Amino acid sequence: MTATLWSALATGLLSMLMLGDGLALNLLLVAIPATFGTYVAARNAGRQLRRWTVVWGVAGFALLAIPLLRDAGWPSFLALVAALGAGSLALHGGRTWTGMLFGPIGLFTSLVTGPAWGWRGLRARTGGARGNAGPVLRAVAVAVVLLVVFGALFAGADAAFAEILSGLVPDASVSDGPWKAVLLVLGVAGALAAAHTAAAPVQWDRVEVPAGRPRGRVEWALPLVVLAALFAAFNGVQLAVLLGGYDSVLEQTGLTYAEYARQGFWQLLMVTVLTLLVIVFALRWAPRDDTRDRTLVRAVLGTLCALALVVVASAVRRMDMYVDAYGLTRLRISVMAVELWFGLVIVLIMAAGVWGARWLPRAVMASAVAGVLAFGFASPDAMIAERNVQLYERTGTFDLDYARELSADAVPALDGLEEPLRSCALKTVAQELEDDDKPWYATSWGEAHARTVLDGKGVSPDADWRVCSRLGMELTYR
């Protein structure tokens, strides 16, 4: 318990000193003592380190590395949410759907019970004859005071020492004291919550969800067979379009190439979502009395899943067509990634129908975590910039206003544009990087790399708002 308390204190102090300036390497530094304290609490409680605990823990740390690599906030936010889910799975050890989905609830409730548990442990170790941490705490407090007092005096006596000290020590100014105090409390409470969850996890796997009442074969299978026939008809049309070419379809419908692509993507995305819901409810009410029933379930749902994969491929193809015509955006790349993940989930469901579904919950959650990791490591803002630069080179059209909204991750791709378009696209992010004075532990690799790129050429002073505004209009409506 003593090691856990010290780890919680270290987590709180690091949170107070580092997290107020942004998220990058500091997030990993804060997570290290919290993880150590959690591990110690779990071992003291008699829990063994299992394989899936390691998998979820490593995945959580990998997700926390996304803010270190990327300047864009939206993939970092997804990574933090996924890291919370992976951490919950590592602490609770869930393996069923209830364990996977309800695990974060236990983590949030520990934000109340964890600090109380830590307070009881602290009192047991600082009071009475059994207390052994009181002298150590007092010694640390005295040491901190001495460091602060004499460090301030030495910094005032020598400018070179003050410069070195300011680069190594996080800013702890009084002006943002309330926010620092909040970060301290949140860091300690979060570390104690994780440790308490690891020591006494809620067994969500033991929550039993009553099975649905099996339906008769006709009542269960007929609607799904009809739906599969509809899927087959739609996929047949898609195959005819693929073989006959899009030109004949466009002539018949009167749509443009991009309009045809845009018209169907969102509907097909919704079809994929509804198909997954239909499969979930169909499995709940599936007949399961004998071998013939189980064969019927596999045949009907397997066919539906196979046809749904064709729908997924059609949706992805339509979005790719639309991107070829109008360029890539954050929304378009996000929904395409989600659609691809839906396709992977369908494949996992098909595999579960062959090899059993015991492993399916973990596989689905692991695929979601892997997808968020791949999305962050791929640097979506950089992909958007690269694709749009390629579109400009091919068609001469370019959405300058949208390019200026991208993060520093897009700088290397935008740097290849010709002047004055290059300077117009990079002017906003260059100004932000110039004004940014975040410390080293809150600076992402994307920001550092962008600074390196911009230091080589800089931004042309001739690219003022008049030039850029006129250029943006010309390239958008060309």
Contact 29, 48 (CB under 8 A): no
The band of 315, judged by pLDDT with boundaries at 50, 70 and 90, is confident
The band of 129, judged by pLDDT with boundaries at 50, 70 and 90, is very low
Task: Flag whether pLDDT at 403 surpasses 80.
Answer: yes
The band of 240, judged by pLDDT with boundaries at 50, 70 and 90, is low
Burial of 365 (0-12, 13-18, 19+ CB in 10 A): buried
Burial of 206 (0-12, 13-18, 19+ CB in 10 A): exposed
Helix (H, G, I), strand (E, B) or coil at 77: helix
Helix (H, G, I), strand (E, B) or coil at 379: coil
The mean pLDDT of the chain is 82
Angle at 26 between CA 24 and CA 30, to 5 degrees: 135
Q: Cα–Cα distance between 56 and 91 in angstroms, integer? A: 9
Q: Cα–Cα distance between 478 and 463 in angstroms, integer? A: 20
Q: At residue 86, what is the residue type?
A: A
pLDDT of amino acid 368: 94
Q: Cα–Cα distance between 257 and 248 in angstroms, integer? A: 11
Q: Cα–Cα distance between 79 and 371 in angstroms, integer? A: 10
Q: What is the mean pLDDT of the segment spanning 399-411?
A: 91
pLDDT 10s digits, 453-465:
988 777 878 777 7
Q: Cα–Cα distance between 296 and 220 in angstroms, integer? A: 10
Q: Cα–Cα distance between 216 and 369 in angstroms, integer? A: 38
pLDDT of amino acid 175: 47
CA distances 193 to 79, 118, 202, 268, 412, Å, are 20, 9, 13, 42, 41
pLDDT of amino acid 137: 60
The band of 390, judged by pLDDT with boundaries at 50, 70 and 90, is very high
Task: Flag whether pLDDT at 19 surpasses 90.
Answer: no
Q: Cα–Cα distance between 443 and 433 in angstroms, integer? A: 10
What angle, 0 to 180 degrees and rounded to 10, lies between the N-to-C axes of helices 25-44 and 177-199? 40
pLDDT 10s digits, 258-308:
666 666 677 888 888 888 888 888 888 888 777 888 888 888 889 999 999
pLDDT of amino acid 107: 75
Rg over CA atoms, the chain: 28
pLDDT of amino acid 344: 94
Q: Cα–Cα distance between 219 and 224 in angstroms, integer? A: 10
pLDDT 10s digits, 415-435:
988 888 898 989 889 888 888
